[in-house]
Amino acid sequence: AFGQSSHLMWHLGTYTGEKPYKCGACAESFPQTCNLLQHQRTHAGEKPYKCNACG
């Protein structure tokens, strides 16, 4: 059981293998927009998170 409908939809996608969010820069597809956004950073060279200890 799920507390939010979006969590249920994400879960159901694991059964279908559906990946409706496509990258415009390559052939990759993703099941969720957050996965696509994370992937798109690789094309832009973005690395927004830095370790405070070593940089």
Here the tokens at position 31 are 């099941």
Q: What is the rounded average pLDDT of the residues 29-54? A: 92
pTM value is 0.66
From the list 44, 42, 45, 46, the residue with the least C-alpha distance to 30 is 42
Q: What are phi and psi of 44, to 5 degrees?
A: -85, -10
pLDDT in tens, 17-27: 999 999 999 99
Would you identify the CATH topology of the domain 5-44?
Double Stranded RNA Binding Domain (3.30.160)
For residue 29, what is the enclosing H or E element?
strand 29-30
